[in-house]
Amino acid sequence: MPIDRRFAVLIDADNVSDKYVKIILDEVSNEGVANYKRIYGNWTSPNMASWKNVLLDHSITPIQQYSYTTGKNATDSAMIIDAMDILYSGKVEGFCLVSSDSDFTRLASRLREGGMMVIGMGERKTPKPFIAACNMFRYLDVLAAADAAPGPGAAQQPAPAPAAPRSEAAQPPEPAEAAGAEAPARAAKKRPAKKKPAAPPPPPQEDPELTAMRAAIRAIVAEQSDEDDWMGVSMIGNILVKRYPDFDVRNFGFSKLTPFVKSLGIFEVKTEQNKDHTHQAYVRIK
Whole-number Å distance between alpha carbons of 250 and 266: 20
pLDDT at 224: 80
Q: Is the pLDDT of residue 43 over 60?
A: yes
pLDDT at 199: 62
For residue 33, list its beta bridge partners.
6
Encode pLDDT of 205-243 as tens digits.
667 888 888 898 888 888 887 767 888 999 999 999 999
> How much is the mean pLDDT over the chain?
82
pLDDT tens profile 68-82: 655 456 688 899 999
Is residue 154 predicted with pLDDT exceeding 50?
Answer: no
Per-residue pLDDT of 249-284, as tens digits, reads 999 889 899 999 999 888 888 888 877 778 888 888
In what helix (H) or strand (E) does residue 25 lie, and over which residues does it extend? helix 21-29
| Nearest C-alpha neighbor of 7 from the set 121, 103, 133, 106 | 121
Q: Give the start-to-end residue ranges of the domains of the chain.
A: 5-147, 208-285
Q: Which of 151, 285, 143, 163 is nearest to 214 (CA)?
A: 285
CA separation, residue 113 to residues 117, 247, 271 (Å): 10, 22, 38
Q: Considering only residues 262 and 154, tell me which one the structure prediction assigns the higher pLDDT.
A: 262
Please report, for residues 132, 217, 231, 286, the alpha-carbon distance to residue 222 in angstroms, rounded to integers and kept in the order given. Answer: 24, 9, 10, 11
Class of domain 208-285: alpha beta
Beta-bridge partner residues of 282: 232, 270
Mean of the pLDDT values across residues 180-204?
58
CA distances to 32, 206, 231, 271 from 278, in Å: 23, 35, 17, 10
- The 10 Å Cβ neighbour count of residue 68 is 8
Report the C-alpha gap between 121 and 250 in whole angstroms. 14
CB neighbours of residue 51 within 10 Å: 20
What pLDDT, in 10s, does the model give residues 89-139?
999 999 999 999 888 999 999 999 999 999 999 999 999 999 999 999 999
The amino acid present at 218, given as its one-letter code, is R
Residue 152 above 50 pLDDT?
no
Residues 206, 264: contact at Cβ < 8 Å? no
Kindly indicate the confidence band of residue 196, based on its pLDDT and cuts at 50, 70 and 90: low
User: Which whole number is the average pLDDT over 50-60?
Assistant: 92
Confidence (pLDDT) at 182: 55
Ranges of beta strands (E only) in the chain are 5-12, 32-41, 61-64, 94-98, 117-122, 136-139, 231-232, 267-273, 279-285
249 vs 255: CA distance, rounded Å: 6
143 pLDDT exceeds 50? Answer: yes
For the domain 5-147, what is the CATH code? Answer: 3.40.50.1010
In the prediction, which pLDDT does 197 show?
A: 63
